[in-house]
């Protein structure tokens, strides 16, 4: 190996060592417009999940996750289904209006009951293979509501609002809750 070849080899080895010490960062971003994407399901869970006045009616006072009163509750007075129906919010307590592609009849709403989040509602397209359009005129439109009492004495440790989960339409929502 002559001196020039040795020098070239040292330059190459030096460059490799520099890359090991100070690694180069390469970022590649690529976007493809997918014309076949369908609408997802969207699940709304209310916070607080339970009606404070109805909890107090049964001497429960607080979210079941943070209270031991539920352990001694007399479930012979009222069935669990009837209690859950009374202390959780119904569809009219959640939604002012909703729709998909400007039509209410394009949406299917299903309740999901759980211990942590109470009663949640999942909206999904009635026709599962509707192709999503990315414009202002199309997509989901939803208006949710709250009551002034939620701000005064919430039955939760987090402020009033909604938890919103977007998921694949063919998979039921089960995140963060125990299905009943």
pLDDT at 89 (0 to 100): 93
Which helix (DSSP H) or strand (DSSP E) does residue 10 occupy?
Answer: helix 3-21
42 neighbors 165 (Cβ within 8 angstroms) = yes
Does the CA dihedral 106-37-43-114 come out positive or negative?
positive
CA distances from 96 to 43, 113, 154, 170 (A): 15, 20, 21, 26
Rounded to whole angstroms, the Cα distance separating 12 from 171 reads 54
Is the pTM here over 0.75, yes or no? no
∠ CA 21-24-27, rounded to 5°: 155
Residue 50 lies in a domain: yes
Phi-psi region of 178 (alpha: psi -120 to 50; beta: other; left: phi over 0): beta
Residue 129 lies in a domain: yes
β-sheet with 41-47: strand ranges across? 107-114, 118-125, 41-47, 161-167
Residue 91 lies in a domain: yes
pLDDT at 180 (0 to 100): 38
Domain containing 135: what range?
Answer: 41-167
Residue 97 lies in a domain: yes
Provide block-wise average pLDDT over 10 residues at a time, the chain (180 residues): 74 77 72 76 92 84 71 80 90 94 93 88 90 83 86 71 89 59
Residue 8 lies in a domain: no
Backbone angles phi, psi at 99, to 5 degrees: 180, 170
Residue 134 lies in a domain: yes
Residue 6 lies in a domain: no
Rounded to whole angstroms, the Cα distance separating 49 from 162 reads 9
pLDDT digits over 142-166, tens only? 999 988 877 776 656 778 889 999 9
Number of structural domains, the chain?
Answer: 1
Rounded to whole angstroms, the Cα distance separating 40 from 123 reads 9
pLDDT at 24 (0 to 100): 67
Residue 179 lies in a domain: no
Rounded to whole angstroms, the Cα distance separating 9 from 2 reads 11
């Amino acid at each position: 190996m002559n001196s020039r070849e040795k020098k070239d080899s040292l330059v190459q080895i030096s460059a490799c060592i520099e890359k090991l010490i100070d690694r180069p960062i390469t970022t590649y971003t690529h976007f493809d417009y997918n014309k076949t994407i369908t609408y997802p399901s969207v699940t709304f869970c209310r916070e607080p999940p339970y009606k404070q006045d109805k909890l107090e009616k049964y001497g429960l006072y607080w979210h079941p996750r943070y209270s031991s009163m539920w352990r001694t509750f007399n479930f012979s007075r009222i069935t669990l289904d009837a209690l859950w129906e009374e202390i959780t919010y119904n569809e009219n307590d959640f939604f002012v209006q909703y729709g998909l592609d400007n039509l209410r009849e394009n949406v299917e709403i299903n309740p999901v009951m759980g211990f942590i989040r109470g009663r949640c509602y999942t909206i999904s397209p009635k026709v599962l293979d509707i192709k999503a359009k990315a414009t202002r005129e199309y997509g989901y439109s939803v208006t949710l509501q709250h009551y002034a009492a939620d701000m005064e004495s919430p039955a939760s440790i987090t402020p009033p609002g909604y938890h919103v989960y977007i998921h694949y339409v063919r998979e039921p929502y089960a995140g963060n809750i125990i299905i009943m």
